[in-house]
């Protein structure tokens, strides 16, 4: 009996960037708000700091993702060009190389060679990229996708983190900011885990712990600065 299969590997590229951007947006903005709230009772300062952090962070995420993923893409392209040249220069050696890979994976010698020969006839470059280098269409680096996804998810996370600014009382804001941030991080961890097929509880705990540590440090720094200044 046939059964439907749902695989999530195709989401790896954008999902990683989305979760990273949203988590960074929530945590960095909340930490900034906590630090400012600990140093000042002014809501206007909170709003200015939060919006400035949102814009600067989104642009920084986009630039950082673009640069880092472009470096990965450049490395992939260099490997592809080198593999294409090796196939043109010494196809027999490349056949033996592919045969050895399949033999190491458990195929008998004659079958490993026949499979390698068939793949070399149909798709020599694709076979070597996939089985020798681990490069596939699914795992290929996409700089533009990573940059846009990270920037948008950061802005969304940071915008949500600004919610406690609406609390009128300064003391209550210091409580509302971390409480609201924990809720946001929990929701993010669960959502990311469900999209990726992972365990929600573990993912939520991971992002909450990281965010909690960041906010605690920021609150301490803000309190110190507020006291000194």
**Inside any domain, residue 5:** no
Among 5-14, 64-73, 89-98, 198-207, the minimum mean pLDDT is found in 5-14
Q: In the chain, how many domains are there? A: 1
CB–CB of 147/59 below 8 Å?
no
Percent of the chain with pLDDT over 90: 13
Q: Provide the pLDDT confidence category of residue 12 given band limits of 50, 70 and 90.
A: low
What average pLDDT is seen over the chain?
Answer: 82
**Inside any domain, residue 219:** yes
Q: Provide the pLDDT confidence category of residue 38 given band limits of 50, 70 and 90.
A: confident
Higher pLDDT, 155 or 196: 155
- Which residues form the domain of 174? 10-228
Asked if pLDDT for residue 8 goes beyond 60, the answer is: no
In the block, residue with structure tokens 């945590």? 27
**Inside any domain, residue 2:** no
Q: How many angstroms separate the CA atoms of 163 and 135, rounded?
A: 42
In the block, residue with structure tokens 């070597």? 128
Give the dihedral of Cα atoms 12, 16, 18, 20; nearest 10 deg: 180
Give the dihedral of Cα atoms 172, 177, 183, 188; nearest 10 deg: 170
**Inside any domain, residue 130:** yes
87, 196, 177: which is closest to 132 by C-alpha? 87
Residues in CB range of 47: below 8 A, 6 or more apart: 162, 165
**Inside any domain, residue 54:** yes
- In eight-state DSSP terms, residue 84 is H
**Inside any domain, residue 1:** no
**Inside any domain, residue 113:** yes
Report yes or no on whether pTM surpasses 0.75.
Answer: no
**Inside any domain, residue 215:** yes
pLDDT digit string, tens, across residues 68-96: 889 988 988 998 899 899 888 988 888 88
Asked if pLDDT for residue 169 goes beyond 70, the answer is: yes
Residues in CB range of 133: below 8 A, 6 or more apart: 79, 83
């Amino acid at each position: 009996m046939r059964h439907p299969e749902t695989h999530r590997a195709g989401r790896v590229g954008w999902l990683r960037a989305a979760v990273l951007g949203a988590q960074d947006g929530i945590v960095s903005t909340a930490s900034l708000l906590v630090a400012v709230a600990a140093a000042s009772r002014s809501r206007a300062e909170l709003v200015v700091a939060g919006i400035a952090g949102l814009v600067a962070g989104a642009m920084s995420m986009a630039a950082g993702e673009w640069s880092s993923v472009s470096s990965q893409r450049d490395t992939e392209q260099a490997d592809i060009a080198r593999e294409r040249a090796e196939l043109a220069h010494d196809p027999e050696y490349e056949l033996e190389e592919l045969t050895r890979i399949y033999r190491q994976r458990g195929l008998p010698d004659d079958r490993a060679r026949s499979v390698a020969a068939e793949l070399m006839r149909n798709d020599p470059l694709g076979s070597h990229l996939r089985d020798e280098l681990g490069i596939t269409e699914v795992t290929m680096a996409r700089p533009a996708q990573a940059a846009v996804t990270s920037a948008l998810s950061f802005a969304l996370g940071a915008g949500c983190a600004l919610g406690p600014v609406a609390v009128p009382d300064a003391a209550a804001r210091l409580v509302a900011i971390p409480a609201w941030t924990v809720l946001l991080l929990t929701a993010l961890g669960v959502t990311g885990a469900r999209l990726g097929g992972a365990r929600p509880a573990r993912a939520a705990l991971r992002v909450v712990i990281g965010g909690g540590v960041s906010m605690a440090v920021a609150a301490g720094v803000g309190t110190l600065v507020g006291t000194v200044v």
